[in-house]
Chains A and B, each alone.
Chain A
Amino acid sequence: MQIIYTDVLVIGGGLAGQRAAISVKRRGHEAIILSLVPAKRSHSAAAQGGMQASLGNCAGAAGDDEDCHFADTVRGSDWGADQQVVRMFAHTAPKAIRELATWGVPWNRVQRGEHAITVDGRGATVVEADASHGLITARNFGGTAKWRACYVSDGTGHAMLYTMSNQAIAANIPVHERMEALALIHDGERCCGAIVRNLINGELFAYVAKATCIATGGFGRIYRVSTNAIINEGMGAAIALETGIACLGNMEAIQFHPTAIVPAGILVTEACRGDGGLLLDGANHRFMPDYEPEKKELASRDVVSRRMEEHIAAGHGAQGRYGPHLWLDIRPLGREHIERRLREVNEICRYFLGIDPQRDLIPVRPAQHYSMGGVRTDHRGQSPQLKGLFAAGEAACWDLHGFNRLGGNSVAETVVAGMIVGDSMADFCDSADGALQVSTSLAEAFAARERERLAAIVQRRGGESVFELTRQMQDTMTDRVGIFRHAEALEAAVSTLQALHRRAQNITLRSSAPGANPELVAAYRLPRMLKLALCVAFGALQRTESRGAHYRADFPQRNDRDWMRRTIASWPEPDAELPTLTYEALDILTWELPPGWRGYGARDYIDHPDTPRRQQEIAALLATMGAADRHQRQAALMPFLHLLPEHLRGRNERLGDD
């Protein structure tokens, strides 16, 4: 078996992985990226509407800054996020977007003068200042106080990913395409690379590295109806879990996006609503203002999705061939806007629905969209349990999003996390901890184990079909671990998933084709997907409260008193039937923004006793600060700059700064 040595092994070729590799390379270390597919085909390309960064350039963004971005993100998370990480993120996002601007992303720019916009289904006018002309513009998105989503038409992720990939090519970073990591190599304390399978010819390799980064995105394909690309099966998180040492955080926190087209589940961007599109019911009634008078269609995704399903359950859906759905109406935006700023939406409607969104309503219903949970890391991206293992982007849970992510914060997170975690891995490589003392026999032992597992799958004769079991897992997740959850359905889901996990040991392959063999690939991935599904379902069953996207119909209140804690899942015994769940307390007394009402959604929650105490502390502290500026006030409440790499600590310049 060939052993390939590198300083840093990045598993996943999307925005987070490539940006991390670029940081590593800039610091003088070698990086290799593994990718299931050509890097430019990664799921990052599917981000349509925008990237959140508080540049504050356009009229709708006036007055925006890191403080607003921070507060929106924490409220969006339903106070589940790590507030220091949110601060690091909000501070770095403007730098990330400006770096991408120098690298070539054709961000849409502010055009001076009057513009027609659409508000509440009617025309309105906005005037852009001369001074802003040519700077990066932004559009409105859900759950935000300002227009903050910077965009490239509705191909934002595509443009970002191409620019990032081209920079990685310029930096001469190898991307080993069509390669899948099957297992992390570790000695119980230290991760030192991965056993990797070539998806063209089936050959196994060992990649030995000082630092290994999981950047494999989310795991939406454990659900039947998901906006995710079909490669989003969560294998990075799963192989971390299978170490028995590294942990996953908040796996039950699953986001459902309000506007996936029916029936294909393909996403149409939140920018449709941000730019003025409306949600209508079966009677063509605009129903969101009835539920959410403040934010209407632009409440956070968890709230809008819940309201939509609630409205459908009350019998107000439109009846379609594939069951009830609602309508997205972007007709008021007009031809020019749709053809220039919502081009992908226009194409998706034409090709997949055979409709013209300039004239027709778009059938939509919420679908699984994002995994807030993932490999649990500290604020620099390292696993607290397994040294040398890092994670970034959707695959990670450093905990930027808590229980609900805001639209446009995911692509922003990928790049910001890549910048920070890449630097963190370079620090690790430079440190004494980074030195590798791995023996080749350890790599050989892991490779032998994987080889035996694969051989065992090929030889089994239990008669089960991998495709049938996969379908049952996906049905179970969509039907029972969806938007509305309750104990009975979750218990049934857990036992069904356990049964499927046992049956997966009896899969018989029908094909023995030489090469990678797509059926064998499905067969070795399924048990790992089932483990992730069990983390989600069991975590959801245990969390007896409602927070963000995790909604328990039998426990409808957010319960800060008992649930101010993060779920930590591990799988210490390979043969165990369930993950081990433990909980990590969140300390309100260290927070800048104590829990409260989000400004949308339910006002009903159970307070934590520390909340009033922290509120008083903050009020008293601020009262002593007199004429201090916002930076000084922030630093007094919750310092974070010291957590960032030095070169990312500078203040972000904005138009109109003194």
Chain B
Amino acid sequence: MERIPARAASRTLRIQILRHNPLDPASTPALQSFELQEADAMTLFIALNEIRQTQDASLQFDFVCRAGICGSCGMIVNGRPVLACRTLTRDLPDDIVLAPLPAFELIGDLSVNTGKWMRGMSERLETWVHAQNLEQADIDALEQTMEPALADQIYELERCIECGCCVAACGTAQMHEEFVGAVGLNQIARFRLDPRDERSDADYYELVGDDSGVFGCMTLLGCQDTCPKDLPLAAQIAFLRRRMAIAGF
């Protein structure tokens, strides 16, 4: 843990956390309030660890990279889904309310099982390059060429970190458990763009051509508003919907 000296006359933060331990029969979901002296350059990663170390050792949350790249620490901060590790307390008011991401299975307190959800989505949408004889590929030979601009375009969509913020911010996902979310639709858009994937629009239609897929989207655009990687989700979903409408016609 990086130790950061406190700034003189720092603020006292009041952090309320929605707590619940499903494994404890006596636990009922409730907000618990913690007070914390703000330190310079304090992130929610630092703040939550300090609370766990000095006030309540049972507090559950997930951080891995603490650098905004692994997608582990999505949570609701004052009503919006964000990556907690790169959220600086100085950008927040004195009163901070933290809650776990909705739409995912709760592990405890701020920890939710996004991994299980994402693996299920990947299996269902088959989010991998489908090509004949992949195992027999000649890896001694020069690689297939690809237009540099196309590689950039694929990477643009590949930047998704499966944090779940788009699912937590999605109206459809809250009402419709089977909905694959912007995260899933973006993956389809990514593989559709990739010439190495031999699937056709008819194949993709089988995967997302219904209301648990691209036709479930109500265009509320919570996904694009909250995506920590600024992915062009609205445009991808709109484009995919048009292609799927044609494929299904």
Do they bind each other?
yes
Residues of A within 8 A of B (CB): 26, 37-43, 45-46, 55, 95-99, 101-104, 106-111, 133-137, 152-153, 155, 158-159, 162-163, 165-167, 169-170, 175, 177-178, 200-201, 224-225, 229-231, 263-267, 321-322, 340, 343-344, 347-348, 351-352, 354, 467, 471, 474, 509-511, 513-515, 517-519, 650-655
Determine if B69 is an interface residue (Cβ-Cβ < 8 Å): yes
Asked whether A106 and B151 contact (CB < 8 A) given A38-B119, A265-B2, A518-B52, the answer is yes
- Report the nearest B residue to A92, measured CB to CB: B139
Contacts of B21 in A (CB 8 A): 513-515
Q: How far is the CA of A340 from the CA of B151 in the complex (A)?
A: 12
B134: Cβ under 8 A from any A Cβ: yes
B64 close to A (CB within 8 Å): yes
Query: Is B142 part of the binding interface, using a Cβ–Cβ cutoff of 8 Å?
Result: yes
A107 to B148, CA, bound (A): 9
CB of B60 closer than 8 Å to a CB of A: yes
Give CA–CA (A652, B143) in the complex, Å: 11
B210 within 8 A of A: no
- CA gap between A230 and B48 in the complex, in Å: 14
Interface assignment of B155: CB less than 8 Å from any CB of chain A: yes
B24 adjacent to A169 (CB under 8 Å): no
Q: Which of A45, A263, A517 contacts B69 (CB 8 A)?
A: A45
Chain A residue numbers with a CB within 8 Å of B158 are 106, 152, 155, 158-159, 162
Chain B residues, Cβ within 8 Å of A106: 146, 151-152, 154-155, 158, 194
Q: In the complex, what residues of A have CB within 8 A of residue B145's CB?
A: 109, 133-135
Q: A38-B119, A155-B69 are in contact. List 19 more A-B contacts (CB 8 A).
A: A37-B72, A41-B64, A102-B196, A110-B148, A134-B145, A159-B155, A166-B128, A169-B119, A169-B123, A169-B127, A175-B119, A177-B116, A230-B63, A264-B43, A343-B159, A351-B86, A352-B41, A471-B3, A514-B24
* Assembly CA distance A514 to B118 (angstroms): 26
Contact A46/B65 with A111-B148, A169-B127, A170-B126 known, Cβ cut-off 8 Å: yes
A352 to B131, CA, bound (A): 41
B residues lining the A interface (CB < 8 Å): 1-5, 21, 23-24, 40-41, 43, 52-54, 56-60, 62-72, 86, 88, 107-108, 113-116, 118-119, 122-123, 126-129, 131, 134-135, 137, 139-148, 151-152, 154-155, 158-159, 161-162, 191, 194, 196-197
Q: Are B135 and A26 in contact (CB under 8 A)?
A: yes
B162–A229 CB distance below 8 A: no
* Cross-chain contact B151 with A46 (CB below 8 angstroms): no
Whole-angstrom CA separation of A46 from B68 in the bound complex: 10
6 residue pairs, one from A and one from B, having the closest CB atoms: A38-B115, A134-B145, A513-B58, A511-B58, A166-B128, A519-B57
With beta carbons under 8 angstroms apart, the residue of A40, A178, A321 that contacts B118 is: A40
Q: How far is the CA of A445 from the CA of B71 in the complex (A)?
A: 38
Given A102-B196, A515-B24, decide whether A263 and B152 contact each other with a Cβ distance below 8 A. Answer: no
Partner of B114, one of A38, A153, A166: A38
The answer on a CB contact under 8 Å between A653 and B142 is: yes
A518 in contact with B58 (CB, 8 Å): yes
* Contact A650-B56, Cβ < 8 Å, known A231-B64, A264-B41: no
Q: Which residues of A contact B129 (CB under 8 A)?
A: 102-104, 163, 166
16 residue pairs bridging A and B, Cβ less than 8 Å apart: A102-B129, A102-B144, A103-B129, A108-B152, A134-B145, A134-B147, A136-B143, A155-B155, A169-B119, A224-B2, A229-B65, A229-B70, A352-B41, A467-B54, A513-B21, A653-B141
Known: A224-B2, A519-B58. A95 touches B139 (CB 8 A): yes
Report A-chain residues with C-beta under 8 Å of the C-beta of B4: 263, 322
**A518 and B60 contact, Cβ closer than 8 Å, known pairs A474-B1, A654-B142:** yes
- Which residues of B have CB within 8 Å of A474? 1
Q: How far is the CA of A177 from the CA of B117 in the complex (A)?
A: 12
Interface pair B1/A155, CB less than 8 Å apart? no
Instruction: Give the nearest-CB partner of B108 in chain A.
Output: A515
B107/A200 in contact, CB under 8 A:
yes
Q: Is the CB of B143 within 8 A of A101?
A: yes
Q: Are A41 and B152 in contact (CB under 8 A)?
A: no
Are B127 and A166 in contact, with the CB atoms below 8 A? yes
Inter-subunit contact A511/B1 (CB<8 Å)? no
Contact A134 B146 (CB under 8 A): yes
